[in-house]
Structure 1
Amino acid sequence: MLETPICDAYIRITRTADHLLVYEDFFITDHYGKSIKIPLYTETAQEKEASPYLLYQVEISKKGHAKLIIQNIAIFANVTAILSMLLPPYRKDEAILSISLKEPHFSSKSHEVAIDPKGGIDAMLQEVIIPTSITVHLGRPNRDGENLTVPFLYYLKNVASSEIYPTWPREAIKANVWAQMSLALNRVFTEWYRSQGYNFDITNSTAYDQAFVKNRVIYDNVAEIVEEVFQEYIQKKNFTEPFYAEYCDGKIAQCPGMKQWGTQDLATRGYDALSILQYYYGDTIRIVSSDTIQDIRPSYPGTPLQLGSVGKDVAMLQAFLNAIAINYPAIRPIFPVNGEFETATQSAVRTFQRQFNLTVDGIVGRTTWYRISFIFVAVRKLAELGSLGYLSTLYSGVWQQRVLRQGDRSVETQLMQYYLSSIRLFYPEIPEVSIDGRFGAGTYNAILAFQKRFGLTADGLVGQATWDRIYQVYTSISNQLPPTNAPLPYPGIPLQLGTSGDAVEAVQNAINKLAKQYTDIPSVNVDGIFGAATRNAIRNFQSLFDLTADGIVGVKTWELLFSIAAQLQANTADTAILQHQLNMIAKYYPSVDSVPVSGVFDEATQASLTDFQTLMGLPLKEGTDALTIDVLDSCFHELSS
């Protein structure tokens, strides 16, 4: 088939082995660009060791166009080979274009690619898409080569025609196509190459990805199967990402994944395509489909995430950081994962940036976003055969269908520890646990205590019954939990000029909370470094609250600083609610002035509150009292309904 129909072109076909001329004539394409079918002789060998094809060379010429010579075209018995060609205009320097296709082969690669956390960066899309097109780099990723952007459907037909024989049983071909589809979608889902700065999505190097041959013939039976299963891919149960379906030929190379020659053998023994895949990849895989067909779009939100940001991108960021914290315990897990970029998230981001030599500003710009995503892919092994999985439903409280036990290290254990820590505030008989994702003796004892307290089998295992009960108890008390942005425990040594780290960062955040209410305390830059500005702010705080003004944060200064900061945070939340209620009432009662929802109880808030007290005939008092709050709540809820 010609991409641009050309009539009366001259075609010449010779057999590669003996250069025998087998066809020579002018041919005419129809208005679809299709030529007539040309019958060619080929082998019919049935043995697996034989090569069931013959190689041919096609020569095409037309006045005004360069002559095109394509070598090593494999022709199989009873299979139609479709060759797409485009004759370029004639140029003196390119009067003859010769293209040599690779002889049909099988991948001798293992797709496991080691991830070096010090190397490139990676990213993660939020959903599995079927791309409308894909850009293929011809060669190894770090070598110069042409980039071809082709329709994704054509890409799959090309890969399948390049990787396997079209004479294989239908179920063997289908199993291989599913594996090829899944591998390609995994590269797209993880933005494997794009996020490392490359301008392509996948390579045709079988050492890294899978075969793709420019200008190759497409076999009609292979194309038919690709079209049948297009939009379908392999996924492990309970995982979000397309399964990284590692495979190799099984003869020249061995790998822990699927063996291409083995699929042919299994198919002849009566296995269907799914059974073949489960034979190699296990019973937990399934075939799923996606109706989302769209262009590939970058996962970076487009604008930096920082204090005050909210939404699903922040929730994804928090989930990524929590998973990374399992392997990098200096990063404090963020709970709850609520999509709100608060100080706990900022602190975790800063620690991550410090850990991986990025600019420490607590802001998630493009560089930080892709590095976080890369490390997440690394620790969860999403681009490997042994993936730990992207558990998109984890923070919904749903049991992840895996029993947790002593010795485990996982994000499921980490979340369970957070639930237990919250429950312990109301059930003190449950021992304290560390939220570190490691199922050690402390977590085991806490699980035993929980199971005894709530009438479960006390075996120290977290199966579905125990998980569901833990989540049920947690949700029943979650609205009574104190603010989650609790400070770090006292680090054990005084903080002073020259000190740095998370503890200093926490002190600086607390100083800035106080600075909003106490004008004598200056705000400071939150950089985790105890400089002169931080020392001066601490001195002012100590003088204001009758402590020794030495500019050093010892135990007494630490405890008082965070106690007042926590109280101000609670008061800020209460004041913000009050201001919101006054604004609702002001919509219906013009005598009550509206106020900015700032969380600061200022003169405007007091004036509006006095307006409300006057309207309702309440005693005029500065600040709030129980009677005013009760009437305000009642009025607000009545108007809201």
Structure 2
Amino acid sequence: MRILRRGDTGSDVRVAQTALVRAGYDPGAVDGVFGARTESAVIQFQGTVGLTQDGIIGPNTWAYLEPFAMEPNPEVLRIGSRGEMVRALQTALKAAGFDPGAVDGIFGARTKAALEAFQKAKGIPVTGVADAITWLVIAPYIDYTNVVLRRGSTGMYVMILQSALVNACFNPGVIDGVFGANTLAAVLAFQRAKGLTADGIVGPRTWAALKPYITGKVVPYTVKAGDTLYSIAAAYHTTVSDILKLNPRADPNRIYPGEVFYIPVNSCSTNPGNPGPGGGTGGGGSGGTNPGC
């Protein structure tokens, strides 16, 4: 990438603006024009990551920006991120006993260090990046007081909700972070089973009822000769889609012995004698109890 500064135009400026938006900054219109607002956003970003705040995108600034350009999900957080999801992460790290510094919604060096320490302690990849695996593991420490989800919601909170519903033996479909019809049916069934108002909206009372099922548990699995994603998924009572959500890869049709996958632990299927909150052991349709639970 070329060095960019105020007055430049082109597709690489648009890439930089897109990365800034995903990181939580406001460069103005993503139009490929490096104007005053883009310069201001670059200066703010540089301050967050600890670089000289000159408003020029040189090699060092590009090194921090490029991961945001490559990762389309703004809730995958890393150094340079800022916003409410960073604040939620910092609050959860503090609750888990890891000090991110000020809970200010700015992902700087201290937040990165705290996240790496958390990842090491939990036995997950130490990347300093809050990806899907990390969000699932830190989920028990998140404050859900102001988190309200409903049909149409998307993101990491929805993924956590879906995982909890699976653990509670209610089937939301694929754990994909999208609150669609299957997730709605599972939420309604869960609310009815728990004696809550069955409105399909996940607010404070529903989160409180879900708390025992937000386990934060994933297990590492080392691929052996002859394994397939389907055989691994079957062994852990999960789906290929759920495995790939936590372990994204360019070619899902190729896995190699020695690779490590992180698998979400399904508390429902690991306790086959548990009839589940809905009181049944079969079902398997959307919103019902999971098969084998």
**TM score, norm. by length of structure 2:** 0.40
Larger relative contact order, structure 1 or 2 (CA cutoff 8 Å, min sep 6): 2
TM-score, length of structure 1 as denominator length: 0.22
| Structure number having the greater strand percentage | 1
Query: Which structure's CA Rg is the greater one?
Result: 1
